[in-house]
Chains A and B, each alone.
Chain A
């Protein structure tokens, strides 16, 4: 079985996000980049399946040159090959644009299972699994927390509100990995040294038959017009509790007159 795992190289979840000078993107200086945590579940499951059943694991990303570091991290954990669709100089695109690029690359890759994280941390849009599947005309199952392989098919457990849904899908299909699916492994030092020797295949959108003009700028269906940080938290107000009676009265007054919740 051949697996392709689509990964996103995103700002570390602990990054203190700053807004860029244009007011609609994040300031990337001092940002630490990581493989999106949900994608790690996807990679881990693909690696485990390969270890049990043979085959290959290829990691695929759309991103600038820095994303090669993320791909190498996946190679160091055990992926066989890595492909990057270069975003360098492409201009702004949206989820659908990315999905079109991924789908175009995936068409040439003969995957039995296409993996992604259920969502990317950062934008948390959670649309990539279904978009890519739709573009490839494949079934998709998202929020997967357990996998069982059968001949030419797979049984998948997915988290739904208040319960679990068990579905079966033919292969190939697109699977969105969710927290709880597995415990991602660490890379190893040997893996890092082996990854160093591997060549990352870099493809331009045009190599995949996608015209960048059709998915960027005004052509993007979704455009970021403004980015704002949440308002700073107000300092909390402490009511002296020397006299409980007075303190309670003061609290009621504040709730009524200032917070206006009563």
Chain B
């Protein structure tokens, strides 16, 4: 049965015809190409790489870029793409987020003409896959503490250090690696490290219980030499990676709604057809209704949050703390919905015949990456009080 959307508040009327057309296209793609295979993929711990050429043909990579023959979509349309993809699977959405917001965005925004000419078309066509290396084994929420360094040597840089939890790491043709350029106290800069560069190796994180249809890897750099032309010239300092994260988090605030829609609609259908006690559907019981009412209310609030955030982004007035609110809230909504849906499905909530447990497991990663829920709380706390409770890096 095709997905017909969740729209309790006539939000449809706030979307342009193109935004709806974009969403419906991706919706159809997810229903026809992703849902039939995704449960198997997650079970096997396999990223469905065969979908990359199709996603590229739909122009899902770098969809907001207005050059290089790319669609130049507005941010609401982009958000709706993320929503539909994550309705399919958070891992698939992660792939597109990383490729678009964490790899194409920095190359397009901070890259030289040569870097852009080389990578943007290849990444858009899915001929090249990218990854984004910021997190390290010992530095997650506090990336400013990173130990990866780049030392200048003649006309090249020599990288040493390790990155952890890197989406697409071991399947990437190009890694955008953030390292302290010059020494432990030097500002962070972005390096484009190509697959196969001597001194650059990857290994996959094993036994992941979440985001199983996505590749997550460690990157290691041992005297890895990259030419000066591979440094992103347009940015210095943590502002570089953080601005990318703002893009990706924006997309996640929409994506999470997709996950919530998937678990909510599954729970609703199930509750209406599953009968217990006097042949009545479980949907007729007040406690089940309370759960469904909670879900639809939170999803609707989240939709309005994401939509207004998108309009602010298009209008140039969106600030990182606005994104923090939407990422924090909407991922929480998705997490709560997954949990409640699992309850409503009873035993069926733990099997792969329904998408609920996969979403429930996936959303744990989303809750943690791109700034944990609590770190976004601190961002909001600082935004309203003016007092930083931690030592936040300035974007």
Contact = CB atoms under 8 A, between A and B. Distances in A.
A189 B71 contact: yes
7 contacts: A69-B17, A76-B21, A186-B28, A186-B58, A188-B25, A189-B81, A196-B17
- Best-surrounded residue of A12, A14, A72, A193 (most CB of chain B within 10 A): A193
A192 B22 contact: yes
B59 A73 contact: no
Interface in A46-96: 69, 72-73, 76
B94 to A, nearest CB: 19
A196 B20 CA distance: 12
Given A189-B73, A190-B71, A196 B18 contact: yes
A252 interface: no
Interface of A: 12, 14, 32, 69, 72-73, 76, 186-190, 192-193, 195-196
A79 B70 CA distance: 19
A236 B132 CA distance: 57
B28 to A, nearest CB: 7
B37 interface: no
Nearest to B70: A190
Q: Chain A at the B interface: mostly helix, strand, loop or mixed? A: helix
B29 A186 contact: yes
Contacts of B59: 188-190
Nearest to B56: A188
A39 to B, nearest CB: 16
B2 A189 contact: no
B57 A192 contact: no
Interface string B14-45: 00011001100100110000000000000000
B1 interface: yes
B71 A193 contact: yes
A62 to B, nearest CB: 21
Contacts of B63: 189
Nearest to A69: B17
A73 to B, nearest CB: 7
A72 B57 contact: no
Interface in B51-98: 54, 57-60, 63, 69-73, 77, 81
B1 A186 contact: no
B28 A192 contact: no
B58 A193 contact: no
- Best-surrounded residue of A32, A72, A76, A186 (most CB of chain B within 10 A): A186
A190 B63 CA distance: 9
Nearest to B60: A189
List 7 tightest A-B contacts by C-beta distance, closest first. Answer: A189-B59, A189-B71, A190-B71, A192-B21, A188-B59, A193-B71, A190-B59
A186 B70 CA distance: 17
Contact of B25 (A14, A32, A192): A192
Interface of B: 1-2, 4, 17-18, 21-22, 25, 28-29, 54, 57-60, 63, 69-73, 77, 81
A32 B73 CA distance: 24
B57 A186 contact: yes
Contacts of A14: 1-2
A186 B56 CA distance: 12
B367 to A, nearest CB: 29
A43 to B, nearest CB: 15
A192 B74 CA distance: 12
Contacts of A32: 4
A14 B1 CA distance: 8
Nearest to B16: A196
Contacts of B22: 189, 192
Given A189-B58, A189-B59, 12 more contacts: A14-B2, A69-B21, A73-B21, A188-B59, A189-B22, A189-B60, A189-B81, A190-B71, A192-B71, A193-B71, A195-B21, A196-B17
A72 B17 CA distance: 10
A76 B73 CA distance: 14
A199 to B, nearest CB: 14
A69 B17 CA distance: 8
Nearest to A187: B25
Contacts of B69: 190
Given A187-B25, A188-B59, A193 B1 contact: no
Contacts of B25: 76, 186-189, 192
A34 to B, nearest CB: 9
B267 to A, nearest CB: 20
A12 B77 CA distance: 23
Contact of A193 (B28, B57, B73): B73
B18 A192 contact: yes
A72 B77 CA distance: 16
A14 B31 CA distance: 14
A84 to B, nearest CB: 15
Contacts of B70: 190
Contacts of A189: 22, 25, 58-60, 63, 71, 73, 77, 81
Given A187-B25, A188-B57, A193 B2 contact: no
A52 B21 CA distance: 27
A192 B69 CA distance: 13
B108 to A, nearest CB: 16
A104 B154 CA distance: 75
- Best-surrounded residue of B63, B70, B71 (most CB of chain A within 10 A): B71
Contacts of A186: 25, 28-29, 54, 57-58
Contacts of B58: 186-189
A188 B54 CA distance: 10
Nearest to A15: B4
Nearest to B57: A188
Contacts of B72: 193
Contacts of B77: 189
B74 to A, nearest CB: 10
Contacts of B1: 14
